[in-house]
Structure 1
Amino acid sequence: MEKKLTINDIAQMSGVAKSTVSRYLNGGSVKDATAQKIKKIIEENNYEPNLFARLNAKESRIIGLTVPGFNSVTTPRLVEVIVAYLKKNDYTPLIMHTENDIEEEIRCIERLKNMNVDGIMVLATGSTKEYEEAVKKLKIPILFLGQRFPGENSVINDDYNAGYAVGNYIGQRKFKEIYMLWVPEDDPAVGGERRHGVIDGLMSCEKKPKEVIETTFFYENAIENVQKFVDHMKTPAAVVCATDRIAFGVYKVMSEKGIRIPEEVSVVGFGDYEAGELLQPPLTTVKFDWKNWGEISAESMIQMILGKPVSPLQVNPYKIIERKSVKEN
């Protein structure tokens, strides 16, 4: 087994004192020529500083990232992009799982602060007064993803306008009834802005939903909640779903009931999950640029750590992907 390189080894190979190497690793002042010499040795030998030593350093080059869970398609995609970007820029991500619990989210942020991370990125679930007070006390850069957060920098999807575009798209077609299968408004982005966008888009065509049925982000709950209207809906109908995963539940129920998509029921989702293209018929959906979102977020976090200005609100664009699940007039 290959011997692990130590700070002593790096000092000897660089021809400098151990204290100089330690100062370099901890973000202290070192002459440029010496820093380049140490950096070259580190890179040639793939040296990784001890995580706990870095957490005690002046600059840890560690960025905390809190996530609500990994059971969605969106979160793993986004986290993968962020992690790759941070690593490329010599930052180590430290990921904490909040289990969709806003109180746990607050606790995770406080733990990360106490661990001396350089900054924190939060895939947020919402905000409360207690949350806002906790964030004000942080004194380190924090960036919220997916949700607006009062007084703090955020990178969000263009949920309202994406919803409006879908509402207008469906509203221009001739349906006897339009249903929305949606998540609660305690999710401000999808449950709030995206929902209101769809309704306003429908209203721009002098249409409105027959019913907004509340569900969760989970496929199984979508199947259960489609049962609340499927047997009494008048066709041709449309079902607008908060996410593609919810739309998958609609497909399953319609298939079991022998109801044809799009001839009798049109279905549209949000997210452009890969499985949507494999459905029969392929699902019409809204695509958000996950790579762009992740890279903008990671770069903004780095700039904030460096003390450089970033836009307080950055918006990730969307695009409607027309496939075959919506009936033409």
Structure 2
Amino acid sequence: MGKLGYYMEQKVTIKDVAELAGVSKSTVSRYLNNGYISVEKQVRVRKAIEETGFQSNFFAKRLKTRESKLIGIVLPRMDSVTVGKLLAGITRVLEPEGYQSILLVSQLSGEKELENMQKLQQQGVDAILVDSVGITPEHVRRAKEWSLPILYTGQQQAEVHCLKIDDAAAGHRMGVYLRQMGHKHAVFAGVTESDEAVGIERKAGFVAGFCEGRTDAQVDFVETGFDFLSAYNQAEEIRKLAPSVVVGATDNISLGILRYFHERGVHVPEDISVVGFGGYDVGAVVYPALTTVAFDYELMGMKAASYILNLLRGKGREETNLDMPLFFVERESVRDLNAAVDEPSLNAMPGMA
């Protein structure tokens, strides 16, 4: 009986493939796990696998080792600066540890988010990381009952593993700044309160900081989506409220409003001030450059990945540094109304006609 006939009747092993290809077992293993081997050896190993009918059974491997080296990631959307940076941070930590990611997108739908979690659990991933649009009782139940670690980012819930920035503190910092700049009437352009972090906490923090110690301060609210276009489409409604400053719940919202004002000859910050949250790079290059509270989303991704790894190793929350810094970035998009009041008129200055 020839070698190929033997392989057809017997269970083929890595050793058999290695012998037929004329390479070591470790070389075959590296090939199967996407490790580096020369192109010439890749051709030989692939040919040997085809001839023997050998298949590396992923699920059998999982049953034996109880790990797949796969992390499931559920994202709310892909067309977002923050998501790109979050993923970069996650990959930066997971890849050196030999993990790969499976990405699913929920399109800002809480129901789709739960469906995607179910799919990942059924595929046998080692852990799931969810950049959540909102943590519901069902999210909590799964985190408690499923055998694999689940980490939620972007939202906070005491009963589950979470990682998020301090949205209330970010909003408060912006509110205090604008109060100190003499602004009394603001419009907060924000998203629905179903997103607790951005829609509730960030807004509440801003209102507290802006209105603190004042009875004449006013904050109106106009709902937009997260995207540039929905903010642009709501800008006329915002303009009709005649605030001295518009506070976008994200930089993306603020940029849509800036665009609308520019097209209609509304000068920022001379006629109206605009600020945001996020610290997107584009905010530094638009005119006027956008004042914002910046978040380090890549660092968040790195911390989230480290948190997941610690959970997989049986370590708890206390083993991970979860502090997320905030950076206030003052640029050109805010007018100091105190200076406008204190500055004497040119006509009233001595020597001026």
TM-score bin (small chain): 0.7 to 0.9
Matched, 1:284 2:291: yes
For 1:158 and 1:246, the matched residues in 2 are separated by 19
Alignment of 1:58-73 (within 5 A): 58-73=66-81
Q: How many Å apart are 1:205 and its aligned residue?
A: 4.8
Q: How far apart are 1:314 and its partner, in Å?
A: 2.8
Q: 1:215 is matched by which residue type in structure 2?
A: T
Establish whether residue 263 from structure 1 lines up as the match of residue 270 from structure 2: yes
Give the alignment of 1:305-320 within 5 angstroms.
Answer: 305-311=312-318, 314-320=322-328
Match of 1:117 in 2: 125
The one-letter code matched in structure 1 to 2:14 is I
Q: How has the CA–CA distance of structure 1 residues 231 and 107 changed in structure 2, closer, same or farther, with 3 Å as cutoff?
A: closer
Shift of 1:145: 0.8
- For 2:224 and 2:311, the matched residues in 1 are separated by 37
Range moving further from structure 2, 53-62 or 133-142: 53-62
Indicate whether 1:233 and 2:225 are aligned.
no
Change in CA separation of 1:227 and 1:295 when aligned onto 2, cut-off 3 Å: same
Deviation, structure 1 residue 83: 2.0
The equivalent of 1:88 in structure 2 is: 96
Residue type at the aligned position of 1:167: G
TM-superposed CA distance for 1:51, in Å, is 8.5
Equivalent of 1:191 in 191, 199, 220: 199
Task: Point out where structure 1 has 5 or more consecutive residues left out of the alignment.
Answer: 1-5, 26-37
Asked whether the 8 Å contact 1:55–1:117 carries over to 2, the reply is: no
Moved more, 49-58 or 295-304: 49-58
Q: 2: CA distance between counterparts of 1:209 and 1:77?
A: 35
Please provide the CA RMSD for this pair: 2.9
* Partner SS state of residue 240, structure 1: strand
In structure 2, what is the Cα distance between the partners aligned to 1:239 and 1:246? 10
The structure whose residues are more often helix, as a share, is 2
Structure 2 residue 300 is matched with structure 1 residue 293: yes
Structure 1 length normalisation: TM-score? 0.83
1: distance between equivalents of 2:127 and 2:236? 45
1:176: how far off? 5.0
Tell me how far 1:209 sits from its aligned partner. Answer: 3.3
Q: Are 2:275 and 2:333, in contact at CA under 8 Å, matched by a contact in 1?
A: yes
1:133-152 pair list within 5 angstroms: 133-152=141-160
Structure 1 distance, partners of 2:165, 2:75, is 16
- Find the aligned partners of 2:180 and 2:147 in 1 and give their Cα distance: 50
TM-score between both structures, scaled by the size of structure 2: 0.78
Structure 2: give runs of 5+ residues left out of the alignment: 1-12, 43-54, 339-353
- Alpha-carbon distance, 1:269 to partner: 0.4
State the secondary structure of the residue aligned to 1:230.
Answer: helix
Which structure has the greater CA radius of gyration? 2
Q: Once structures 1 and 2 are overlaid, which stretch shifts more, 302-311 or 173-182?
A: 173-182
Q: Distance in 2 between matches of 1:278 and 1:45?
A: 44
Hey, what's the Cα distance between the residues in 1 that align with 2:259 and 2:18? 60
Cα-to-partner distance string for 1:160-211 (whole Å, 9 max, x where unaligned): 1011000000111223521111111110111111111101111225264341
Residue 130 of structure 1 deviates from its aligned partner by: 2.8
The alpha-carbon deviation at position 105 of structure 1 amounts to 1.4
Counterpart position of 2:346? none
**1:138 & 1:112 partners in 2: Cα distance?**
12
In structure 1, the residue matched to 2:249 is: 242
Distance 1:263 1:90 in 2: 53
Residue of structure 1 in register with 2:140 after alignment: 132
* Structure-2 residue corresponding to 1:31: none
Shift of the alpha carbon at 1:150? 4.1
Q: Secondary structure at the match of 2:225?
A: coil
Instruction: Describe the shift of the 1:176–1:161 C-alpha distance in structure 2 as closer, same or farther (beyond 3 A).
Output: closer
